[in-house]
């Protein structure tokens, strides 16, 4: 195992839109910037590969992405992909693991200021059959399709909650899938005020209308949810889903189910550093400062608000690292925070989803822990110690938000390593390390 140390003035974790905007603003204003991401290249979730906007309208999504990535390149910020941040401390150092063909590389990065732009992941809820082959996360299936997974001619039900469902369904339809239903668990009463608020945001309204137009033959079933994924006679693959609107239950044949319940913020690094939280989200001020000195946070960990908010918040954080601010950007960020709060209410999970798992329904997929084995415990730590729920490779990223909705338990603490790492990675942290050459002055 090779181990090295680097240092920088501004370190950004996450090369999604928020991290790209943050790194660009800081570097354009004279700061030495390194950006780390566990993916191979910059782009994050939405700019992973080709987006619906790019293929549907080359003048829109494509331009935003191209400009952002080109500006990042020209800013001089250095992007290091394939690095998993597994440990961090508030004294100004963090550690990453990179798996290469020649072995594992552990790197330590020392920084003066840190920007957390770690994004969000899909939230999954267990129901009978959700572990069958053919059942995917909604964004997960979209990511696979962007990577070349063929869906042409396949019947797909897209279900769960949140605006991502329409984006995913439109993407799949464009790749030739037959999207038979989009199934949204939120009720009309929840969604109507949110839809009304979009009237003051023509860009978002147009985006929704564009997705809907691409799915004009597909029913958008509001107030409906998946009760069960049904296996084919061989028991090895999905053949249908059982859906309900609470009053009526019916079966819809399909080859694939893409199911996700909005997003859960990636706040593990923030928690490790001891940042204060506002509910599930990292608390920040108008300059995206967290409660920890010299630690900023931008994008989805501060509230699920979409692409524009990630770009604006990232730029504010990057400027703040260079001692600058922008009243115009701060005003936009405040409006976007209100949008995030409205979205949180609109797509709040209904209580009926708590009664879907049976005793034998797997909740923790890493450790094969069934719902029935979680009964009788007082909370997350107790259940974790006795059942190993949340102790597998994903470290509770999948089952944590599910258990929170099902049983109301929240993890009490986050500990390093955030991802499984070889034991030697910890030896490194005790060593006294030589730093790289001093940072060069930028012209």
Ligand X SMILES: Cc1cc2nc3c(=O)[nH]c(=O)nc-3n(C[C@H](O)[C@H](O)[C@H](O)COP(=O)(O)OP(=O)(O)OC[C@H]3O[C@@H](n4cnc5c(N)ncnc54)[C@H](O)[C@@H]3O)c2cc1C
Residue 19 in the binding site for ligand X (CB under 6 A): yes
- Taking CB under 6 A as the rule, does residue 145 contact ligand X? no
8-state DSSP, 49: S
Cα–Cα dist 282/268, whole Å = 10
Q: CB nearer to ligand X: give 122 or 255.
A: 122
- CA neighbours closer than 13 Å in the CB half-sphere of residue 202: 0
Contact in structure between 266 and 242 (CB atoms under 8 Å): no
| 118 in contact with ligand X (CB under 6 A) | yes
Length of the chain: 443
Tokens of 141: 């299936």
Helix axes of 202-214 and 164-174: crossing angle, nearest 10 degrees? 40
Closer residue to ligand X, CB minimum distance, 9 or 37: 37
Q: Which stretch binds ligand X (CB under 6 A): 118-126, 154-162, 212-220, 389-397?
A: 118-126
284: contact with ligand X by CB under 6 A = no
Least distance in Å: CB of 300 to ligand X? 4
**What is residue 244's DSSP assignment?**
E
Q: Does 346 bind ligand X (CB under 6 A)?
A: no
Smallest gap from Cβ 208 to ligand X, in A, equals 11
36 binds ligand X (CB under 6 A): yes
The least distance separating ligand X from the CB of residue 230, rounded to whole angstroms, comes to 25
* Of 143, 22, 114, 38, residue with least CA distance to 72: 22
Under 8 Å between Cβ of 145 and 151: yes
- DSSP E strands in 81-206: the ranges are 84-89, 93-100, 103-116, 120-122, 135-136, 155-161, 178-184
Nearer to ligand X, 28 or 107 (CB): 107
One residue of 44, 162, 357, 392 binding ligand X per CB under 6 A = 44
- 318 in contact with ligand X (CB under 6 A): no
Minimal distance, residue 139 CB to ligand X, in Å:
2
* Number of residues engaging ligand X in binding (CB under 6 A): 37
- Which of 215/374 has CB closer to ligand X? 215
- The residues with which 277 forms a beta bridge, in sequence order, are 282
- Under rule CB under 6 A, which residues in 217-276 are in contact with ligand X? 263, 266, 269
Residues 6+ apart with CB under 8 A from 407: 374
Residues 6+ apart with CB under 8 A from 48: 39, 143, 146
117: contact with ligand X by CB under 6 A: yes
Based on the shown chain and the rule CB under 6 A, indicate whether residue 25 belongs to the binding site for ligand X.
no
Q: Is 107 in the site for ligand X (CB under 6 A)?
A: no
Per CB under 6 A, does 46 bind ligand X?
A: yes
Cis ω before 221 (30° cut-off from 0): no
Q: Is 406 a binder of ligand X (CB under 6 A)?
A: no
Q: φ and ψ at 160, to 5 degrees? A: 125, -125
Residue of the chain from 12, 15, 25, 353 that contacts ligand X (CB under 6 A): 15
By CB under 6 A, residue 17 contacts ligand X: yes
296 in contact with ligand X (CB under 6 A) = no
Q: Which residues of 229-249 are buried (b: 16+ CB within 10 A; e: fewer)?
A: bbbeeeeeebbbbbbbeeeee
The minimum distance between CB 312 and ligand X, in angstroms, equals: 11
The alpha carbon dihedral of 399, 405, 407, 410 has a sign of positive
For position 181 contacting ligand X by CB under 6 A, the verdict is no
Q: Is the separation of the CB atoms in 190 and 229 below 8 Å?
A: no
Is residue 85 involved in binding ligand X (CB under 6 A)? yes
Any contact of residue 306 with ligand X (CB under 6 A)? yes
307 binds ligand X (CB under 6 A): yes
Q: Which residues partner with 263 through β-bridges?
A: 122
Minimum CB–partner distance for residue 285 and ligand X (Å): 18
Over the window 120 to 139, marking each residue x when it contacts ligand X by CB under 6 A and - when it does not, the resulting string is: xxx----------------x
**5 by DSSP, 3-state: which?**
strand
Distance between start and end Cα atoms, the chain: 36
| Interacting span for ligand X (CB under 6 A) from 196-204, 243-251, 298-306, 369-377 | 298-306
Q: Which of 6, 29, 39, 104 binds ligand X (CB under 6 A)?
A: 39
- Residue 54 DSSP one-character state: H
Is position 38 an interface residue for ligand X (rule: CB under 6 A)? yes
Q: Which is nearer to ligand X, 179 or 383 (CB)?
A: 179
Strands 281-282 and 277-278 come out as antiparallel
Residues that bind ligand X (CB under 6 A): 13-19, 36-39, 44-46, 83-85, 117-122, 139, 142-143, 164, 167, 263, 266, 269, 299-300, 306-307, 310, 418
């Amino acid at each position: 195992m090779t181990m090295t140390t680097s240092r920088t003035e501004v370190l950004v974790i996450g090369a999604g839109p928020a991290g790209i905007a943050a790194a660009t603003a800081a570097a354009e204003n004279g700061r030495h910037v390194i950006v780390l991401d566990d993916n191979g290249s910059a782009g994050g979730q939405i700019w992973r590969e080709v987006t619906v906007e790019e293929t549907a309208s080359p003048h829109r999504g494509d331009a935003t992405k191209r400009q952002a990535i080109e500006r990042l390149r020209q800013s001089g910020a250095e992007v290091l992909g394939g690095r998993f941040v597994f440990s961090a401390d508030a004294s100004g150092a963090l550690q990453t693991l990179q798996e290469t063909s020649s072995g594992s590389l552990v790197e330590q990065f020392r920084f003066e200021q840190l920007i957390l732009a770690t994004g969000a992941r899909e939230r999954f809820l267990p129901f009978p059959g959700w572990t069958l082959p053919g059942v995917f996360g909604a964004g997960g299936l979209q990511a696979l399709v962007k990577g070349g997974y063929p869906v042409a001619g396949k019947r797909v039900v897209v279900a769960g909650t949140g605006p991502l469902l329409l984006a995913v369904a439109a993407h799949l339809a464009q790749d030739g899938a037959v999207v038979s239903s989009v199934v949204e668990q939120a009720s009309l009463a929840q969604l109507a005020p949110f839809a009304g608020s979009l009237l003051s945001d023509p860009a978002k309204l147009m985006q929704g209308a564009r997705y809907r137009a691409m799915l004009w033959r597909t029913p958008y079933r509001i107030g409906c949810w998946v009760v069960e994924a049904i296996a084919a006679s061989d028991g090895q693959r999905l053949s249908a889903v059982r859906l309900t609107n609470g009053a009526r239950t019916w079966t819809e044949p399909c080859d694939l189910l893409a199911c996700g319940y909005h997003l859960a913020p990636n706040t593990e690094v923030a928690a490790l550093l001891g940042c204060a939280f506002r509910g599930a989200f990292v608390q920040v001020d108008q300059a995206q400062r967290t409660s920890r000195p010299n630690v900023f946070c931008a994008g989805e960990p501060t509230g699920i608000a979409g692409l524009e908010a990630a770009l604006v918040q990232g730029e504010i954080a990057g400027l703040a690292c260079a001692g600058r601010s922008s009243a115009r950007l701060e005003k936009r960020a405040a409006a976007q925070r209100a949008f995030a709060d409205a979205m949180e209410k609109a797509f709040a999970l209904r209580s009926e989803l708590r009664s879907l798992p049976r005793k034998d329904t797997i909740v923790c997929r890493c450790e094969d822990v069934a719902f029935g084995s979680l009964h009788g415990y007082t909370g997350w730590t107790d259940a974790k110690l006795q059942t190993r729920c949340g102790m597998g490779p994903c470290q509770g990223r999948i089952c944590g938000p599910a258990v929170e909705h099902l049983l109301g338990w929240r993890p009490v603490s986050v500990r390093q390593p955030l991802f499984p790492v070889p034991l030697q990675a910890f030896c490194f942290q005790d060593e006294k390390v030589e730093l790289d050459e001093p940072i060069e002055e930028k012209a």
